[in-house]
Structure 1
C-alpha cells in the first residue's frame, strides 16, 4: 500500500488526515516538526515513502527550506504542500522549487484525496519509466514472465511473434493476469525497444487529468497550469504507449485518441498547433469491448484501430500448472529483497495454493507470497503463513483432485513424506517404496537437501 508522510504542527490536522488516509487504505506516518521529518527521510533503510504532505509553515524550520532538503534526500518523491489563504505565495514558491501541488486549508475531503491520487499516479508513472530505462540499459529483460502451462505458452509465443510488427495490440483478460507484463514484453522484443515504454492507467484519472496527461498542456491553459507540461504521447514518441483499462475511457477522450492513431498528430491543451508523434499503441482491458461497442459505450472505429491483434490472457485458475513456479519465483524475489534465508515452500502450502481459486489471479498470488515472506521465521514457507489456506477446505471424497501435473503431485507427496519422517531419508525411501539413490536424486531435483 502507498506510504504517505504528513508533517504539520497542528495536532488536529494530523489526527484528521491520519484517520482519513488510513480509512482509504494508505499507510501513514505523522510528524509535528520539520526536524523529525528530515530525520525520518534520512534513514534509507526504513519503509520506502510514496508521498509527502507538508505544511508550508512550521515552527522549527521554514517549509521552503524543508522542501529543498527533501529534494536532496528523496528527489523522486512527490510533495504536496498545505497552506492557509494568507500564505499562498509560499505555496507557489514551493511549486516552483519542485512541489507537485498545493491545497488550501481548510480543505474538503474530496479535494485532498483528489490531489493525493493525482500525485501518487504521477509518482507511479515516473517510477515505472525510471525502471524501464534501467531495463533498457541492461538490454531489456522479460525473465520475470514465469509459466509452465501450455495455455500461457500459446499466448507468450504469439506475443513474441507479433512484437516485431508495428501493429497496435489489444490485451484482454481479468485483472491481475499480467497484461502490463505482456505489454512490456511486446515493447522489449520490438524495434522500438531503444525508445520509451510509457504506461498509463486510464481508470485512475478523471477526464480532464487524463487529457492533460496524454496530450500535455501549455502554461495558462487552465487554472493551475503554471508551466508547460509535456504529455505522455510526446514522452512515448518513437516507443510504445500502454493504455491500461482502455474500456474506462470516456467518448470524448476516445475521439481524441482515434485522431492520434489515424493522423499521427495531436494538439496540446491550450495550443492551436498540431504536433506529430510516432507511437505504437498497446491497450488492455478487463471488459468485454465487443459488448461495450454493441451498447454504444465504446467507439467501433477506435476498437478496430486498437484491436489489430488481440492477446487474451487466461486466468490463473485455468492454468494451475503455473501456480507453483510463480509462487517459487515470488518467494525468491521477496526473500532476496528482504534479505531472508528462505529455501522453498512446504508441500502442504503448495497443495493448498493449488486448491485455491485465485480470483485476483497472479497479482493476488504475488501479494499473498509477499505477506508470507514478511512473516516467515523459518527457512520454508508454510501453510500457516498463507491466509488462502484458511479459506481452502480439505477435499471431500467426492471431489476431484486439484488440477496439477503428475510431476507436481509426485513432488508434493515425496516432500510431504520426507518432512513427516523428520527428514529421515532411509525411512522416507522405505515408505515410498523407492531406492535411497532414487530419493537422493529426487530431493536434489527439488532442491530439498
Structure 2
C-alpha cells in the first residue's frame, strides 16, 4: 500500500502541482489551504493514518512554525518536510531544529522533491520497523494459554477473563509457585491494553534504592553512578500493565510513593523535580496475608484497598490434582523440544509418583522436577527413578498424630530438600521457592541449615 501524503500550502497552484505529481506516483494525497484545516485533520485522525507532511512555512491564518510545533506534538514520529521561498531560510532552519526532516526551497525541480520525499518515507519506514522490533524484543513472554482441566482452576480462569476487560487494579493471591505472573499476563492479553506493554518486577528481589530506581527511573546525576537519565518501569508501562510481584515485601517508603502513583496518576523520577503523568493498570501479587500485614502495621491500609479492587485467589497444586498430569505433559514437551529428545510421556508409575506428591512448591516445583527428568531420561518414557521426589516426600504431609510437626519444621524440611535438589545453588533454590535471595539467606541462618563448601552441581553462587 502506497504512503499517504498531506500537503499544506495556501497557493492553489502549488497544491495542484504537487497533488498531480504524487498521484502519478500512486501516492494517496490530501491537500489543505491553511494550518487550521490541517491541524483539524491531524487531530481527528489516528496514529499512522498519514505517513508524511509537506508543509509551507508561511500560512495565511497562523505562523507555519507554530503549525509545525502543534503537528510534532500530535504526531511526533511523522516526518515533516517544509517548503520555503527565498528570504525565509531562517524559518526553515528553525523548523529543522523543531524536528522537521528537511526543507526544500521554491521553486523546486520535480526530481528533487520526489527524491526528498522518497528518502523521508524510507527513513520513516525503517524507524517504524525499528520501533516494532524493539517492542517485540523488550516484551516478556506473555502466556496466551494456561494449562488446566480442573473445575477449580476453571473458576479462576473465568474470573480472570471476566475482570480483565475492566480497568480496575487487581490483587492476585496464592502460594509461591502457583502461577500468579501467568494470571497477570492473562489479565493483560484479555484487556483493552493488550496492544501496549506488559512489564513485571519482583519487588522482594531488590533493595529499596534499586527498586525505587527501577520503578521511577532517575535523572543524570541523581546519585553516584547515575551517568545518564534512565526511564523507569512506570514510564515504560504507560498505557499498559505493570505487574508488582511480592508487593507484600515493599518497604513503607516505597509503598507511599506507589500510593501517589495510583491515586494521582503521576510520579517523579529520582532526582527530578517535575512530575510525569502515566496511565497504568496495576496487577499486584503476594503470598502473604495482606489483611494481617495491614493489621500488624507493616502494609499501608490505603494502598491495600487501592490495589485490592478485585481479588483473584489461586489454589495450590495439591488442591487441583487433575491438573498435575496435563501440566507435566506440557512441561515435558517444552523441555524435550529444547534439549532435542524424543520423550513421549511418563510411565504409569511415574505419573502415580507425581500424583501422590504434595507439591509444596506448586507448579514452579513441578516444572523444575519435569525439566530435571527430561534431562536424565534415556528412553522415550520418564520413569520414577529420574524424578527427584523420594517415597518419604511423596507421603502426605499430614502424618500420624504422634508424628505431627509444626509448619515451621515443614518449611525447614522443604527448603533443605530444594537446596539439596539444586546442588545448593541458592539463586535456583530461591527461584523454585518463589522467594528472594535475601529471604533465602535469612531462612538458612534461621533454620541453621548446613551449606557444604561444594554442592552436587559442582558450584555455589554467593
- Give the TM-score taking structure 2 as reference length: 0.55
Aligned to 2:233: 232
Q: Is the 8 A contact 1:349 1:389 kept in 2?
A: no
Aligned to 1:305: 306
1:164-243 residue pairs with structure 2 within 5 A? 164-243=165-244
The one of 108, 133, 136 equivalent to 2:139 is: 133
CA distance in 1, matches of 2:359, 2:326: 15
CA distance in 1, matches of 2:330, 2:233: 32
Aligned to 2:152: 151
CA distance in 2, matches of 1:268, 1:393: 50
Aligned to 2:364: 363
CA distance in 2, matches of 1:255, 1:394: 45
> SS at the partner of 1:333?
helix
Aligned to 1:373: 374
CA distance in 2, matches of 1:212, 1:387: 40
Per-residue deviation, 1:207: 0.5
> SS at the partner of 1:255?
helix
> SS at the partner of 1:391?
helix
Unaligned runs of 5+ in 1: 1-127, 400-449
1:387-398 residue pairs with structure 2 within 5 A? 387-392=388-393
Question: RMSD value over aligned CA atoms?
Answer: 2.0
**Aligned residue pairs: how many?**
265
Aligned to 1:331: 332
Per-residue deviation, 1:389: 4.0
Per-residue deviation, 1:131: 6.2
1:48-447 residue pairs with structure 2 within 5 A? 133=139, 141-143=143-145, 145-392=146-393
Which protein shows a greater Rg?
2
Per-residue deviation, 1:344: 1.1
Per-residue deviation, 1:394: 7.4
CA distance in 2, matches of 1:378, 1:387: 17
Aligned to 1:13: none
> SS at the partner of 2:315?
coil
Q: Is the 8 A contact 2:357 2:394 kept in 1?
A: no
> SS at the partner of 2:346?
coil
Per-residue deviation, 1:375: 0.7
> SS at the partner of 2:284?
strand
Aligned to 2:61: none
> SS at the partner of 1:388?
coil
CA distance in 1, matches of 2:218, 2:301: 28
1:31-42 residue pairs with structure 2 within 5 A? none
> SS at the partner of 2:162?
helix
Cα distance, 1:129–1:375 mapped onto 2, change above 3 Å: farther
Q: Is the 8 A contact 1:383 1:389 kept in 2?
A: no
Q: Is the 8 A contact 1:129 1:198 kept in 2?
A: no
Cα distance, 1:132–1:150 mapped onto 2, change above 3 Å: farther
CA distance in 2, matches of 1:337, 1:390: 29
Q: Is the 8 A contact 2:139 2:199 kept in 1?
A: no
Instruction: Summarize deviations over 1:250-270 as a string: whole Å, max 9, x none.
Output: 010000000000000000011
> SS at the partner of 1:311?
strand
Instruction: Summarize deviations over 1:174-207 as a string: whole Å, max 9, x none.
Output: 0000000000000011010111001000000011
Cα distance, 1:141–1:316 mapped onto 2, change above 3 Å: closer
Instruction: Summarize deviations over 1:326-345 as a string: whole Å, max 9, x none.
Output: 00111111111111000111
CA distance in 2, matches of 1:387, 1:202: 30
Instruction: Summarize deviations over 1:211-243 as a string: whole Å, max 9, x none.
Output: 100000001011111110000001100000000
Per-residue deviation, 1:387: 1.3
